Structure formats: C-alpha cells, structure tokens
Amino acid sequence: MKLDQFLKARLKITLLISAISTFILAAFAGSIYYFYKEQILYEISDELKSIAFEVSKVVENPLRDFSIVKNVNIPEDTYLCVYNYDAKMVFYKNKLCEIKNFFSGFQVIGYDVVFGTSIEKNGNLYYIYVGKNLSRILASIDKLKLILIYVTFVISTIILVFSFLISKKILSPIKETVEKQERFTQNVSHDLRTPLTVISSNLYLIKQKNFKNIEKNIENIARTVEYMKSIVADLLFISQIGEKEKKTVNINELLKKQLHLLSPKIEEKNIGVIFKEEDQITIEANQADMEKLFSNLLENAIKYNCENGEIIITIKKKQVSIKNTGKLIKKENLDKIFERFYREDESRTSEGSGLGLAIVKEIADFYKLKIKVKVEGVHNEFIIRF
C-alpha cells in the first residue's frame, strides 16, 4: 500500500469514527439538555399549580377575606395576584401582576410563566394568578447548554486525535498484508522469470543447433520445469492445509520416519544427528500436514548446515526443538524468514524456492501451534510448542 493511500485510508477512518462519535455525543448532550429543561419547567409548573390550588382552597370559605392568603407560603421569586370580575386587583403578594386578559392554565408573559385559575366566592368570580420569573432559570439552562457544547467539542477533539492514532493500528495488519502481497508478487515474478528465461534460452539454442546435440539443453529445460512444478506444488499445498482427514499423529514416530527418509542427504554432508526423546507428543491433525511441517524444518536444517555439522532434536514438555549448526540466521531477519519466497541470500541464488518455512508457518498457524526461532551460540533453533 502506497503511503498516500495508507494516509487517505487513515483519514477516512478517523473522520468516520469522529463523525459517528460526535453525532452520538451531540445526541446525548442534546438529550440531557432537553430532559433537564423539561424537568425544570415541569417542576415550576407543578409548583405554581400547587400554590394556586392552595390559595383557592384557603379563600373558598365565605367567612374569610383575601387577607388570609398572607399565611400561604410563597417563595420570594414567586408572586400571587387576585383579580375580581371587574379586572380590579383585590390582593397581591411579592409583585404586581400585568394581566390584561383573563385566562386559565399556563401562559408565558415576557420572562414570566403564569398559571391562572378562577374561583367563586360569595357569588362573585375571582381570578387567581401565580407567576414566576424565569430569567435566572433560563440563564442556568443556557449555561448548561454552553457547558454541554464545550464538553462535546473537547471530547470530539480528543476522539479525533485518538481515532487518527488508533487508525494506524487498525490498518497496520492490512498494510502489512498488502506489502507482503506486493513482495510475494515481486518474488514470484522473479522466481518464475529466471526459469522461464532458462527454458526460452535453451529452446532458442535447440533451434540454432537444428535439433542436434541438444541433450544438455533438454536436461536444462526438464530441470527447470521440475523447479517450477515444485513452486506450484508448494503454493497448492498451502491452499489445501487442513482440508484433508485428521487423525491422531504421533510426532515422535513421524520425526524418526522423516530422518530415515532424509538420511541420504544427512550422510552426504556427514551430519551427526542427536535425537533426545523425553516425552511422547500426539496431535489430532492431517498426517500429510505434519509430515510437511517437520520435513521442511529438517530439510532446512540439512540444507543450511555445514560439512560434519550436527542436528539436535529434542522432544520434551509438549514441544519439539530442532537445532542445527551451519549458516546462522541474522537477528534482524528472524521475523522475516517465515515470509513466502523470503531468503536471506538477497541475490536469490541459493537453492530452494523460499516457500519451505512459509509452509511451516501456515501449518503451525492453522493447528494453533506456537513456532519460535532463535540463534544460540553456533546453532539455529526452531521450537514448535503443542
């Protein structure tokens, strides 16, 4: 993945996460504001209605005049006014009212909310109004609104920064996969270009020789075709890991069998083999998968070993360790050797296609086996934990 594409993807993820988070925060803050405001207004309405009904109850007695209302507890920021039918104010407390038209229920007058009701006393109709100024309450609500907007902005900004940072982590596996795919394509192209060139060159020579004395050219073509077939076979094997029947596989016996099959190569280099068998390990797996895993590891130990070297195989505590002398893996390459077509030999002239250890890693991952490689002293060591 190119840098600009990676950055664009990060920005898109950042903006998407930020937009969704901001929307959720704004909706949450709006809900808090709305319900808080509604609750305050409900409490005020309930308070005004209660005072009005209390006053009505007190003055309903025909033997009492409106002066009895002075005994009703009315908060300082609340006021009470009583009008007769002729629109004459007969009583007020805390503040004069400015009622121009009689009404029942709630009405907003300026910054005041007023509740009106009527009663009949001694054959006359009276109007009772209880009001409250909302200036301080509205200021408090507006302050809450500003606080919610500020908090939403701050949290959204934090989420924006956090999203940009976390988007890198989210995209890292994708970026790594794309980069591996690009390297895979380049390596396949390189590995197939060379044998194709060999075949093409030998075919050209065969034509130039007029199909005479071409045995060596045919041999070169055949060897190259076999090499290409091995690459295709390995790639096909990777695609079929775990698809075949599984059964109980004895790893101890499997390793002994593979050592026997590879004995000609071991004897060719005069490699000493030390087999330490402290435990028995079994696993439910496909036989061919396990054979491929350990044969690749052993072939790798033989291929990169030295003349008169050694291979030490240890089986204990649910793990298999395969050590070999010879060419040591560079520490900076320890994390790369399981990549497809990767070879430490950058000139790519070494024997093999570079798929052996990649297949080992694919099999280990499928069966959830832990694989570790390290360099200790004069040995490369591969450890498989079951």
Q: What is the CATH number of the domain that holds 37?
A: 3.30.450
Residue 254 confidence (pLDDT): 95
Interhelix angle 251-261/287-303, rounded to 10 degrees, is 50
Residues 6 or more apart from 107 whose CB is under 8 A from it? 113, 114, 116
Choice among 133-147, 269-283, 349-363 with the minimum mean pLDDT:
349-363
* pLDDT greater than 70 at residue 180: no
Q: What is the rounded distance in angstroms from the CA atom of residue 60 to the CA atom of residue 352?
A: 108
- 118 located within any domain: yes
Residues 6 or more apart from 196 whose CB is under 8 A from it? none
Q: What is the rounded distance in angstroms from the CA atom of residue 296 to the CA atom of residue 302?
A: 10
Choice among 92-101, 124-133, 204-213, 351-360 with the minimum mean pLDDT:
351-360
pTM above 0.85, yes or no: no
Residue 379 confidence (pLDDT): 93
The whole-number average pLDDT for the span 275-291 is 93
**Domain stop point among 87, 105, 138:** 138
Segment 364-386, tens digit of pLDDT: 988 999 999 999 889 999 999 99
Highest mean pLDDT among 4-8, 35-39, 51-55, 186-190: 35-39
Query: In this prediction, what percent of the chain has a pLDDT beyond 90?
Result: 34
* pLDDT greater than 80 at residue 281: yes
Segment 230-245, tens digit of pLDDT: 877 777 777 778 777 8
Of 318, 300, 315, nearest in space to 373 by CA: 300
pLDDT band of 56, cuts 50, 70, 90: confident
Does residue 187 or residue 132 have the better pLDDT? 132
Dihedrals phi, psi of 115, to nearest 5 degrees: -110, 130
Statement to judge: residues 249 and 378 lie in one domain: yes
pLDDT band of 347, cuts 50, 70, 90: very low
Q: What is the rounded distance in angstroms from the CA atom of residue 217 to the CA atom of residue 198?
A: 9
- 223 located within any domain: no
**Domain stop point among 90, 107, 138:** 138
Give residue for tokens 């003055």. 59
Q: Which residues pair with 124 in a beta bridge?
A: 121
pLDDT band of 37, cuts 50, 70, 90: confident
The whole-number average pLDDT for the span 17-43 is 90
**Domain stop point among 101, 116, 138:** 138
Residue 114, domain extent: 3-138
Q: Which residues pair with 120 in a beta bridge?
A: 125
Q: In the Cβ-directed half-sphere of 201, how many Cα atoms lie within 13 Å? A: 10
Segment 208-223, tens digit of pLDDT: 888 888 888 888 898 8
- 182 located within any domain: no
Residue 257 confidence (pLDDT): 95
pLDDT band of 101, cuts 50, 70, 90: confident
Highest mean pLDDT among 10-19, 194-203, 321-330: 321-330
Choice among 10-14, 99-103, 203-207 with the minimum mean pLDDT:
99-103
Q: What is the chain's mean pLDDT, rounded?
A: 85
Number of domains in the chain: 2
pLDDT band of 349, cuts 50, 70, 90: very low
Residue 138 confidence (pLDDT): 85
Choice among 182-186, 260-264, 310-314, 344-348 with the minimum mean pLDDT:
344-348
- 332 located within any domain: yes
- 206 located within any domain: no
Residue 343 confidence (pLDDT): 66
Q: CB atoms < 10 A from the CB of 67, how many?
A: 9
- 205 located within any domain: no
Residue 184 confidence (pLDDT): 64
CATH code of the domain in which 322 resides: 3.30.565.10
**What is the CA angle 290-291-297, rounded to 5?**
95
Does residue 291 or residue 136 have the better pLDDT? 291
- 184 located within any domain: no
The whole-number average pLDDT for the span 51-67 is 76
pLDDT band of 191, cuts 50, 70, 90: low
Contact 259, 266 (CB under 8 A): yes
DSSP 240-300: TTT-S--EEEEHHHHHHHHHHHTHHHHHHTT-EEEEEE-S--EEEE-HHHHHHHHHHHHHH
Cβ burial 147-161 (10 Å sphere, 16+ → b, else e)? ebeeebeeebeebbe
pLDDT band of 248, cuts 50, 70, 90: very high
- 99 located within any domain: yes
Q: What is the rounded distance in angstroms from the CA atom of residue 6 to the CA atom of residue 174?
A: 10
Residue 128 confidence (pLDDT): 87
Q: What is the rounded distance in angstroms from the CA atom of residue 276 to the CA atom of residue 314?
A: 5
